[in-house]
Amino acid sequence: MDSDTVKMDGAMPLTVLSEEEQLFRSSVRDFAEEQIMPLVSGMDAEGKMDPALPRKIFELGIMGIEVPEMYGGSGGTFFMAALAVEELARIDASIGVVVDVQNTLVNNAIMRWGTEELKRTFLPRLCEKSIGAYALSEAGSGSDAFALQTRAIKKIDGYLITGRKLWITNAAEAGIFIVFANVDPTLGYHGITAFILERDTPGFSVGKREDKLGIRASSTCELILEECFVPENRVLGEPGKGYKVAIETLNEGRIGIGAQMIGVAQGALESAIRYSQERKQFGNTISSFQAIQFQIAEMAVEVEAARLMVYNAARLKMAGKPFAKEAAMAKYFSSEAAERVTSRSLEIFGGYGYTKEYPAEKYYRDAKIGKIYEGTSNMQLQTIAKLIL
């Protein structure tokens, strides 16, 4: 993709970004275009990530963006993590979500809730070589996340965890998992506890890999836990405080999904612009027709509005100010906008858009998940209404 074809700086005001952020964004964009773009079609068709790609992503330094250098990270900011997810998703939403889960969920949870021992044990690995996964959802607990049935039974020096997790992103490749289980179901959600498990834990296995509509190169699998022993020092936070870990981490994760969706929408917009400038009908490029011009203009407005909402939520989070409402708004609006923008992009391609010869149909498929995971659009509206009222 020739980034000069569509002047991105016209769609993303440079006044929003510092010089350091601009340079960082450019480096991730170059990587995505040079290293990921040639692999996108094959990964989508095969439904799995190219095996050489994780090493390259780690080498770029974007799997531990916020992690302090003392733990092997890049010492960057949350906003930079959002920029990375956006730029990756512009090329492939699957790789965008791999990096998103690593940074906004797994790393953030350990940095905020982990003991010094846990930070020194796991953060360097997550920054250098180990992909992480965040295991909250179950077959009977999706939007009602705290209805989870996975059980952790207290033993003298640890816990035995038994249960099944579903829809776990990064599960096929992950070596480190944050798993939520209830230590005392009689306490309801006050019994939920977060644990750190490693892939080689006896009794732990990765089950069925879902065959998905979109983000196909990103693995989504079932986890099976059969009396997995977890030492007491692998509790993340405190026993019974897992609901706080989940709520506060997912608030940040929603900004990451917002960034992924604006990346998808931007990629679809750029593709539609290029095609409209090449495709001729009635002796003229279709970009000369007002009907197409108006559609592209409306798409650009939606992308820009979504981008500024996501950026605002990220800035609030970085400033230490309340951001839960803004994160929910950004996640809701960006995912809705991505669905609309990718649909219009496909229509501008006409019949070609319905084929795999052009990228429009993939952007369209990838956009749909934004309204579903890390809180459906209805759950975001519920959160927004609650915080407003």
Q: Where are the alpha helices (DSSP H) in 47-104?
A: 53-60, 78-91, 93-100
Return all residues near 30 (Cβ < 8 A) that are at least 6 apart.
Answer: none
Among candidate residues 273, 259, 215, 214, the one with its CA nearest the CA of residue 2: 273
Transcribe 239-275 into DSSP letters: TT-HHHHHHHHHHHHHHHHHHHHHHHHHHHHHHHHHH
Q: 305 in helix, strand or coil?
A: helix
Q: What positions carry a catalytic annotation?
A: 374
d(CA 55, CA 234): 27
Residue 166 region, left (φ>0) first, then alpha (ψ -120 to 50), else beta? beta
DSSP one-letter code for 202? T
Residues 6+ apart with CB under 8 A from 62: 28, 74, 81, 84, 99, 103
Alpha-carbon distance of 146 to 140, in angstroms, equals 10
Which among 294, 369, 314 is positioned nearest to 338, based on CA atoms?
A: 369
User: Running DSSP on this structure, what letter comes out for residue 384?
Assistant: H
